[in-house]
């Protein structure tokens, strides 16, 4: 059975219980998903490099940063300096920047990811797909939690899996948006490697993070018939 990874979206965590939730998740999650929004690419302004440094104080899990920004080149070196394991940029703003920024990330010994909005075809990233370590498929519009799940986006996950097998590419495939009990079965059928879980799939299930994780685990296993691996 293919092992899947669950990456909690820290934008949706309860910041009043920051240390408690991170301490628990350190022993259960595979990585942390950290959204940085600039208020331009999307209307919201959320987490920052400072937030990453606070998580680093109490966690050794890999950090996967999702840049929802108009100018990724402004942010990449900051994240390189912080040694974020994954730096993921939106394909829609990479025209004229992709090769340089991917090389900048790789030269630092880190991994480069690209993110595709629901409307963006996978062909957009074909010029540099061989260089990418991770492809994130947005199953909702970017920038807000709790949006409607766009089922048609799952076709891109299937296509990327087939392309990876055919071309022997090395990227992992991640999905981002409304990953929860209602969608687990459909997502599992598409077959991503990493599930990003936010408020509807994890943090909003109970006030206690351990109980929330148990509910998420039960939901996933009941809907897919597969067990979440223990880290």
38 is in an annotated binding site: no
144 is in an annotated binding site: yes
Asked whether 124 and 132 are in contact (CB, 8 A), the reply is no
- CA-CA distance, 47 to 29, in Å (whole number)? 19
189 is in an annotated binding site: no
204 is in an annotated binding site: no
Burial 164-198 (b: 16+ CB within 10 A, else e): beeeeeebbbbbbbbbbbebbeebbebbbbbbbbb
Catalytic residue among 14, 35, 103, 214: 35
Nearest to 166 by CA among 119, 129, 113: 129
Catalytic residue among 38, 176, 207, 219: 176
Task: Indicate if 133 belongs to the active site.
Answer: no
Task: Indicate if 176 belongs to the active site.
Answer: yes
176 is in an annotated binding site: yes
How far the first Cα of the chain sits from its last, in Å, is 15
191 is in an annotated binding site: no
33 is in an annotated binding site: yes
Binding residues: 33, 35, 66, 143-146, 176-178
Residues tagged in the binding site annotation for a divalent metal cation:
33, 35, 66, 176
Tell me the catalytic residues.
35, 176
- Residue numbering of the annotated binding site for substrate: 66, 143-146, 176-178
């Amino acid at each position: 059975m293919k092992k899947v990874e669950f990456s909690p979206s820290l934008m949706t965590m309860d910041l009043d219980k920051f240390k408690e939730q991170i301490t628990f998740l350190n022993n259960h999650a595979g990585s942390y998903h950290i959204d940085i929004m600039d208020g331009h690419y999307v209307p919201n302004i959320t987490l920052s490099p400072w937030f990453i440094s606070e998580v680093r104080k109490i966690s050794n899990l890999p950090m996967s940063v999702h840049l929802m920004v108009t100018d990724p080149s402004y942010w990449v070196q900051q994240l390189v300096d912080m040694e974020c394991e994954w730096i993921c940029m939106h394909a829609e703003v990479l025209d004229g920047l992709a090769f340089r920024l991917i090389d900048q990330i790789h030269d630092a010994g880190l991994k480069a990811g690209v993110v595709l909005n629901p409307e963006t075809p996978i062909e957009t990233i074909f010029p540099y797909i061989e260089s990418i370590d991770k492809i994130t498929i947005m199953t909702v519009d970017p920038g807000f939690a709790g949006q409607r799940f766009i089922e048609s986006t799952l076709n891109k996950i299937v296509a990327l899996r087939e392309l990876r097998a055919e071309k022997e590419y090395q990227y992992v495939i991640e999905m981002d948006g409304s990953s929860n009990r209602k969608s687990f079965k459909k997502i599992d059928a598409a077959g991503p490697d990493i599930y990003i879980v936010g408020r509807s799939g994890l943090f909003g299930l109970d006030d206690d993070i351990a109980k929330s994780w148990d509910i998420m685990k039960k939901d996933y296993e009941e809907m897919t018939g597969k067990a979440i691996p223990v880290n």
